[in-house]
């Protein structure tokens, strides 16, 4: 269970040992494991403008510095600026021919009106006229771009560092090419004859494929100076009008010049938004993939943990006393289309947990060694090396749980069952099941808070929940039938605090 603005009551331990509410976890159906935000690789799928919903290719987005070309943010309050239209009267000269501008003839035939456009903020009433930008005559007017003093310097620095990065990359690749030994079992004809690909290419009259070495162009290094401008003479005598001074937020929003006076505020191109897809770091499969269209909020792949792992909620708990047995009511819900069998078990001991971590670390190392051998610099080896280090769960349970004496069933989700009038089939229920309806079950769980808890201390009940999971997705062609698995999740429930005296 997750609360807004409050710490979560029920936490699930990710495979890496970090605690998260179920709403922040993903479920990889290839590894059949929970994955948190650190255990998935975040990738940018597409760029789009949140205001005009235009999809922008990544190369164009980079060129435009991740900003939309046609939408603007208010420099004063950061709302989106809207286009406003005004009609202005233009004096018509007698010899002037009729223009293409939409014009309305007035009664006397001497005056005509012209449509002019400016941008204005509906939230704070800031308009482009405040910045001294003249009104435009066409709707999609090309608004003047602000010139910045340091623009050329920054561009040359950017070019220089890009060249440095490319050079380093080339050197690294050359080094690996020389270092890696031939992996083919059978030498190719070029190996035997001592011919290299580049020699053959030259003999055939083709251009040599190896790109020329990039050398970063020299730039003038910056030099420190102690000559700085004097402060204006009236800075200590003139009274300050705070209404004319920009706020820190306004300055940071315009990072290229960071104006001090409100008259220097300039409409800013709207920042682009992205759609992210998430990939399991261990098996490289997608766990989240959104639809490409910016207007769509649907997903092509959505493996949120709350769609696959039973949800645990705390319903009630009686008053807690250290060292005395108490009972709490937990509600479990099955989100899947298959029946589940739930078994509540003890948490792994410290020794078991350390063994688990060791095993996971070995698994990662094996994967890194496999992925880094065939091709250097592949995306696989880069991502695998970033895998989150497994760790012990930080939030230790502070109560001893009394394990239920048997497993219990959790019916599959049926959206229509809520409206069905037919009575549910009565079955032999274990005595700890207190309530059952469609895919939900409430159970009474006994536990003993640690005797050394002081008033105000949190009581955390931890258990391992084993549940059966039917995997309808088959990644190997020989397994056509849905596979049934018994999976486990470590659950930590904060049942309450030891009351004060
Ligand atoms: Zn994790
Ligand atoms: Zn836009
Ligand atoms: Zn505004
Ligand atoms: Zn996976």
Dump pLDDT digits (tens) for 449-489. 988 888 888 899 999 999 999 887 765 656 567 788 899 99
Q: Which ligand is nearest to the CA of 473?
A: 4
Task: Give 25 Cα–ligand 1 centroid separation in angstroms.
Answer: 8
Ligand nearest to the CA of 265: 3
Å from CA of 379 to ligand 1 middle: 20
| Distance of CA 134 from the midpoint of ligand 3 (Å) | 18
Q: Each residue of 278-299: pLDDT tens digit?
A: 999 888 889 999 998 888 889 9
Q: Is the pLDDT of residue 105 over 50?
A: no
φ, ψ dihedrals at 7, nearest 5°: -65, 140
Q: Output the pLDDT for position 21.
A: 92
Ligand found nearest the CA of 68: 2
Measured distance CA(198)–CA(42) in Å, rounded? 38
Alpha carbon 65 to its chain's center: 20
pLDDT at 2: 54
What are the sequence ranges of the domains in the chain? 22-74+269-308, 83-89+115-174+242-266, 311-369+388-498
Between residues 150 and 364, the one the model is more confident about: 150
Q: Which ligand is nearest to the CA of 70?
A: 2
**Average of per-residue pLDDT across 73-95:** 83
pTM of the model: 0.73
Residues 28, 282 contacting (CB under 8 angstroms): yes
- Residue 6 and residue 21: Cα distance in Å, rounded? 12
CA of 65 to the centre of ligand 3 (A): 22
Give the HSE-up count for residue 36: Cα atoms under 13 Å, Cβ half-sphere. 18
Q: Which ligand is nearest to the CA of 391?
A: 1
Indicate the pLDDT class of residue 75, thresholds 50, 70 and 90. Answer: very high
Give the tens place of pLDDT for each residue, 368-385: 555 544 444 444 444 444
CA distance 11 to 20: 5
Quickly list DSSP for 323-338: TS-EEEEEEEE--SSS
φ/ψ (deg, to 5) at 393 = -70, 130
Q: Which ligand is nearest to the CA of 28?
A: 4
Tell me how far apart the alpha carbons of residues 446 and 404 are, in angstroms, rounded to a whole number: 8
In angstroms, what is the span from residue 100 Cα to ligand 2's centroid?
28
- Residue 261 in this model has a pLDDT that exceeds 80: yes
What is the CA(126)–ligand 3 centre distance, in A?
5
Q: How far apart are CA 103 and CA 88, in angstroms?
A: 10
- Average the pLDDT over 78-106 and give the result: 69
**What's the CA-to-centroid distance between 253 and ligand 3, angstroms?**
12
Number of the ligand closest to the Cα of 48: 2
Ligand 1 geometric centre to CA of 424 (Å): 39
Q: Which residues hold their Cβ within 5 A of ligand 3, which is an ion?
A: 74, 76-77, 79, 121, 123-124, 126
Alpha-carbon distances of 383 from 26, 176, 282, 367, 373, rounded to whole Å: 18, 19, 9, 11, 14
Which residues, at least 6 apart from 151, have a Cβ–Cβ distance to it below 8 Å?
256
The DSSP output letter for 23 is G
Question: What confidence tens digit (pLDDT) does each residue in 219-255 have?
Answer: 888 889 999 888 888 888 888 888 889 999 999 998 8
> What ligand is nearest to the CA atom of residue 271?
2
User: For residues 20 and 177, what is the distance between their CA atoms, to the nearest angstrom?
Assistant: 43
Q: What is the pLDDT of residue 144?
A: 82
Q: Tell me the pLDDT of the chain averaged across its residues.
A: 82
User: What's the pLDDT at 194?
Assistant: 58
Is 458 within 8 Å of 335 (Cβ atoms)? no
């Amino acid at each position: 269970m997750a609360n807004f603005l409050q710490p979560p009551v029920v936490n699930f331990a990710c495979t890496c040992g970090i605690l998260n509410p179920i709403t922040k976890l993903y479920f990889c159906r290839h590894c059949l494991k929970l994955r948190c935000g650190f255990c998935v690789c975040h990738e940018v799928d597409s760029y789009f403008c949140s205001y005009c919903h235009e999809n922008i290719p990544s190369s164009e987005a980079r060129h435009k510095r991740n900003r939309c070309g046609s939408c603007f943010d208010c420099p004063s309050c950061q709302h989106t600026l809207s286009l406003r239209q005004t009609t202005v009267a233009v004096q018509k000269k007698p010899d002037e021919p009729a223009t293409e501008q939409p014009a309305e003839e007035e009664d006397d035939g001497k005056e005509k009106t012209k449509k002019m456009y400016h941008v204005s903020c509906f939230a704070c009433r800031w308009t482009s006229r405040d910045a001294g930008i003249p009104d435009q005559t066409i709707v999609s007017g090309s608004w003047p771009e602000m010139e910045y003093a340091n623009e050329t310097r920054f561009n040359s620095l950017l070019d220089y560092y890009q060249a440095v990065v490319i050079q380093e990359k080339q050197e690294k690749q050359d080094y690996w090419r020389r270092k890696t030994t031939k992996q083919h079992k059978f030498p190719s004809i070029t190996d035997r004859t001592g011919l290299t690909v580049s020699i053959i290419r030259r003999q055939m009259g083709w251009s040599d494929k190896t790109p020329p070495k990039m050398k970063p162009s020299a730039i003038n290094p910056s030099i420190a100076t102690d000559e700085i401008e004097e402060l204006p003479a009236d800075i200590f005598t003139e009274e300050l009008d705070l209404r004319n001074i920009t706020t820190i937020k306004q300055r940071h929003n315009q990072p290229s010049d960071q104006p001090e006076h409100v008259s220097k505020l300039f409409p800013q191109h709207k920042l682009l938004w992205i759609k992210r897809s998430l990939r399991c770091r261990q098996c490289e499969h997608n766990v989240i993939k959104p639809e490409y269209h910016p207007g769509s909020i649907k997903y092509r792949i959505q493996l949120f943990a709350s769609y696959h792992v039973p949800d645990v909620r705390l319903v009630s708990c009686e008053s807690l006393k250290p060292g005395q047995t108490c009972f709490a009511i937990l509600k479990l819900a099955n989100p899947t289309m298959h029946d589940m069998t739930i078994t509540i078990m003890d948490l792994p001991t410290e020794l078991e947990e350390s063994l688990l971590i060791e095993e996971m670390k070995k698994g990662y190392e094996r994967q890194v060694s496999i992925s880094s051998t065939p091709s250097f610099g592949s995306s696989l080896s880069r991502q695998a090396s970033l895998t989150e280090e497994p760790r012990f769960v930080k939030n230790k349970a502070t109560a001893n749980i009394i394990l239920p004496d048997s497993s219990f069933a959790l019916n599959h989700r049926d959206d229509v069952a809520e409206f069905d009038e037919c009575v549910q089939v009565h079955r032999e229920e274990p005595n700890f099941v207190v309530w059952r309806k469609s895919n939900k079950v409430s159970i009474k769980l006994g536990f003993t808070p640690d005797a050394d808890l002081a008033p105000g201390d949190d009581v955390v009940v931890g258990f391992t929940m084993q549940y059966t999971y039917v995997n309808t997705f088959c990644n190997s062609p020989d397994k056509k039938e849905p596979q049934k698995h018994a999976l486990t999740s470590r659950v930590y429930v904060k049942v309450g605090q030891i009351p004060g005296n």
